């Protein structure tokens, strides 16, 4: 080390002036840029992120290859009988299963990447230094979130490669529905990142944060399970869990309430993380802020649940009635009430809900549906007097039938409303896009080239940090 | 420069700091002396804003210091941390200069004085304890705040390095930079500090120059003389 006596007089003079002068506050924008750069470098240095990238290739590969094979066989490959219709929607046949790999990665891999990035600062002691910057804690968490989302977009290159391969096979691609699926998985990743950031800030150790994050995920599965058995409010709540949200997007349905609630939860998770990352604030104060945040989140989520707009981006209009039926239903102004005496686990109820009620809700926002049952499976209710009845009430008139098909339900509604059912039209029926080609080269790309590129990238980029 | 008034910090039933008060003067090297477990790090973390205080306040110009004023006035350099372990020393310095808008003009000088040139391309996580301490001190000296709180700045340094670092810290203090150093080795403290705050059992047992502390010890009936170690033992 050099002796201080060797410092020049000029240096000393300038230093003295500088030390005694008032110090300018760091520019918020410039500091945020530095933070972004730091988080990028930390992500590149993170083994967890490279493992996520490495796994994405084979995960997407196995689902894509399997989906293309099944699609090809159903399209007549190897002498099988070719079908028609909904089965040949690439959305349902290819993209839903292919992108489901992203759901697996978002649940089991992404949380560790996020926890590493958030908890790493606390573990290394960097948080004690960074927290002394006057920048708001939310900005620090936002920087991490931006970088994590960017990292997730890089991981989404794997399904993007699948799309390219599909095009090279001559497959049909309907961009709005693929974009919807990708949006769903981006929102899901946002939820995962927000949850992981919150748990990493709340807990002292990353392993505790990981357990807590996975517990919440398992909790949403339990909610879905209870909803399937109990119905009612559980069923309504289950509609906003990540698996249900992703499922809706995978069917090409964008529901405004789902998107808004997801965004509310993402912002709340990040806000919770920023409340607890401020180690210099008293615990009582942080608890008070957490309670207030929880109340605001609940209120906002409930308010968002009343949003009724939705968009069906699927090419085959899988979430919609025919345009003629939609126009006829739009004429009905009076509120419709449906009371279905079907148990939650009765397959007829699932059929009615998925194929008819869900579509009705999109065109008749004032629709009220009530399911009535004394048991969860309905097996022991079959002999009760009203089980299986579906009551319709519209404009003071009531009618009952037991049909759960689209045609039967619409017929009853039209009759009650006094609306003439639309005539059979020549509206182009979705014939599907059969493609009888094997997934040539996909195995090489996803099991060979992708992992090799990731390993090479990790080796080169980590060395340059 | 600023005053600490009645700082109190509890961890559950354990009182780590109890009504600790002292003042920090511009351009001085103030030593916080105390045995292990006396509350030095807790005091620094509370003053640095890393831990919340249960009671007490920091005063600036006779009024409570706001969080923003504290961020502009103090920089706390913790002990036993390995920040950004995957990043190089060069990048850590650049980051801190950019993030906090540090004293860029001192970059070369600080790097040279602390002998950091050979370490610039080494990752923070690969540094030895002493190397890391020097790198962290370099970061602290480059920060824009006029007061640097360094927790155990000589920890992990050998004798020669300790002396050189002490000279460097004194040199910057002579330019007007205020240093507040937590030191458990009283010999190190005597070599570098102008004044001292004695901390024991979470309480401030005395504040002043070595002469003032010796007088305080004498007033309490001790015959400690001018030896700081004896004075410390007499007052704690």
Task: List pLDDT tens digits, range B9-28.
Answer: 999 999 999 999 999 999 99
B131 CB near a chain A CB, below 8 Å?
Answer: no
If one looks up domain A323-417 in CATH, what number appears? 3.40.30.10
**Nearest residue, CB atoms, A34 vs list B48, B98, B105:** B98
Any residues with CB less than 8 A from the CB of A62 and at least 6 apart, and which?
A101, A446
Distance CA A408, CA A320 (A): 16
B232 CB near a chain A CB, below 8 Å?
Answer: no
A11/B80 touch (CB, cutoff 8 Å), yes or no: no
ipTM: 0.94
**What pLDDT was estimated at residue A185?**
96
**Nearest residue, CB atoms, B50 vs list A41, A280, A462:** A280
Distance CA A410, CA A397 (A): 15
B146 CB near a chain A CB, below 8 Å?
Answer: yes
B177/A19 touch (CB, cutoff 8 Å), yes or no: yes
Distance CA B217, CA B225 (A): 9
CA distance B155 to chain A (A): 17
Give the pLDDT band (50/70/90) at residue B190: confident
The 10s digit of each residue's pLDDT in B61-73 is 889 999 999 999 9
Asked if residue B54 lies in contact with residue B42, where contact means CB atoms within 8 angstroms, the answer is no
B117 CB near a chain A CB, below 8 Å?
Answer: no
Any residues with CB less than 8 A from the CB of B234 and at least 6 apart, and which?
B217, B220, B222, B224
Our measurement of the distance from residue A134's CA atom to the centroid of its chain's CA atoms, rounded to an integer in Å, reads 33
Mean pLDDT by 10 residues, chain A (465 residues): 46 52 69 96 96 97 96 77 66 95 95 96 95 94 97 97 97 96 96 97 95 95 85 84 93 95 97 96 96 98 93 92 90 91 87 90 88 72 80 91 90 90 72 89 98 96 79
Q: Is A453 helix (H, G, I), strand (E, B) or coil?
A: helix
B69 CB near a chain A CB, below 8 Å?
Answer: no
**Nearest residue, CB atoms, B71 vs list A15, A124, A134:** A134
**Nearest residue, CB atoms, B82 vs list A15, A125, A133:** A125
Domain with CATH 3.40.30.10 in chain A: 323-417
B85/A124 touch (CB, cutoff 8 Å), yes or no: yes
Q: How many domains does chain B have?
A: 1
Average pLDDT value for chain B: 93
Domain span including residue B118: 2-235
**What pLDDT was estimated at residue A381?**
66
**Nearest residue, CB atoms, A465 vs list B80, B86, B115:** B86
Chain B residues lying within 8 Å of A465, measured CB to CB: 86-88, 91
Closest CA to B38 of B154, B196, B147: B196
B6 CB near a chain A CB, below 8 Å?
Answer: no
Distance CA A341, CA A326 (A): 26
CA distance B215 to chain A (A): 33
Chain B residues lying within 8 Å of A116, measured CB to CB: none
User: CA neighbours within 13 Å on the CB side: how many for A356?
Assistant: 20
* CATH number, position B202: 3.40.50.300
**What pLDDT was estimated at residue B183?**
92
């Amino acid at each position: 080390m050099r002796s201080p006596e060797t410092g020049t007089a000029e240096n000393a003079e300038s230093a003295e002036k500088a030390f005694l002068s008032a110090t300018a506050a760091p520019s918020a924008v410039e500091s945020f840029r530095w933070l972004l750069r730091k988080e990028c470098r930390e992500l590149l240095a993170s083994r967890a992120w490279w493992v996520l990238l490495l796994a994405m290739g084979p995960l997407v590969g196995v689902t894509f290859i399997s989906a293309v094979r099944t699609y090809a066989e159903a399209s007549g490959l190897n002498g099988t009988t070719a079908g028609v219709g909904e089965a040949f929607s690439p959305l349902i046949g290819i993209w839903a299963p292919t992108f489901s790999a992203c759901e697996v990665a978002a649940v089991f891999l992404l949380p560790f990447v996020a926890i590493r990035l958030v908890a790493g600062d606390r573990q290394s002691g960097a948080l004690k230094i960074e927290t002394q910057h006057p920048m708001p804690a939310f900005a620090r968490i936002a920087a991490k979130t931006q970088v994590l989302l960017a990292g997730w977009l890089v991981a989404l290159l794997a399904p993007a490669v699948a799309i390219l391969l599909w095009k090279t096979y001559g497959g049909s691609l309907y961009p709005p529905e693929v974009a919807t699926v990708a949006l769903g998985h981006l929102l899901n990743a946002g939820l995962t990142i927000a949850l992981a950031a919150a748990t990493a800030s709340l807990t002292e150790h990353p392993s505790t944060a990981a357990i807590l994050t996975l517990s919440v995920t398992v909790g949403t599965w339990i909610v879905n399970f209870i909803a399937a058995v109990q119905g009612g409010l559980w069923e309504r709540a289950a509609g906003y869990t990540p698996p249900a949200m992703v499922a809706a997007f995978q069917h090409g349905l964008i529901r405004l309430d789902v998107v808004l609630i997801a965004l509310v939860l993402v912002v709340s998770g990040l806000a919770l993380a920023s409340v607890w990352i401020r180690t210099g604030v008293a615990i009582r104060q942080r608890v008070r802020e957490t309670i207030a945040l929880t109340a605001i989140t609940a209120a906002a989520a409930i308010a968002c649940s009343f949003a009724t707009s939705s968009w069906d981006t699927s090419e085959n209009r899988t979430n919609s009635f025919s345009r003629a039926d939609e126009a006829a239903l739009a004429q009905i102004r009076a509120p419709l009430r449906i009371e279905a005496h079907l148990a939650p686990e009765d397959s007829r109820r699932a059929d009615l809900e998925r194929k008819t009620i869900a579509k009705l809700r999109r065109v008749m926002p004032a629709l009220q549906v009530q399911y009535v049952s004394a048991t969860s499976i309905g097996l022991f209710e079959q002999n009760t007097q009203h089980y299986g009845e579906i009551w319709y009430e519209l404009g003071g008139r009531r009618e009952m039938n037991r049909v759960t098909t689209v045609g039967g339900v619409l017929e009853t509604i039209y009759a009650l409303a006094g609306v003439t059912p639309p005539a059979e039209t020549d509206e182009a029926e979705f014939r599907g896009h059969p493609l009888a080609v094997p997934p040539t080269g996909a195995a090489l790309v996803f099991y060979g080239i992708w992992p090799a590129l990731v390993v090479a990238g990790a080796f080169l980029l980590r060395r340059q940090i | 420069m600023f005053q600490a008034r009645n700082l109190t910090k509890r961890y559950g039933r354990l009182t780590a700091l109890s009504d600790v008060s002292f003042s920090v003067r511009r351009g001085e090297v103030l030593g916080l002396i105390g045995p292990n477990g006396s509350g030095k790090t807790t005091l620094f973390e509370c003053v640095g804003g890393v831990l919340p205080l249960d009671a007490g306040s920091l005063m600036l110009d006779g009024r409570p210091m706001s969080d923003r004023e504290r961020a502009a006035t103090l920089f706390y350099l913790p002990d036993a941390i390995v920040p950004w372990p995957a990043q190089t020393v060069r990048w850590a310095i650049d980051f801190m200069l950019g993030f906090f808008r540090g004293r860029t003009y001192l970059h070369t000088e600080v790097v040279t004085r602390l002998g950091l040139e050979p370490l610039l391309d080494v990752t923070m996580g690969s540094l030895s304890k002493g190397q890391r301490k020097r790198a962290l001190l370099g970061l602290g000296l480059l920060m824009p705040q006029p007061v640097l709180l360094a927790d155990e700045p000589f920890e992990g340094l050998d004798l020669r390095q300790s002396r050189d670092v002490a000279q460097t810290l004194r040199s910057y203090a002579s330019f007007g930079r205020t240093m507040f150093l937590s030191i458990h080795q009283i010999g190190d403290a005597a070599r570098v500090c102008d004044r001292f705050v004695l901390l024991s059992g979470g309480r401030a047992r005395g504040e002043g120059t070595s002469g003032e502390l010796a007088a305080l010890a004498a007033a309490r009936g001790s015959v400690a003389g001018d030896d700081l170690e004896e004075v410390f033992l007499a007052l704690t």
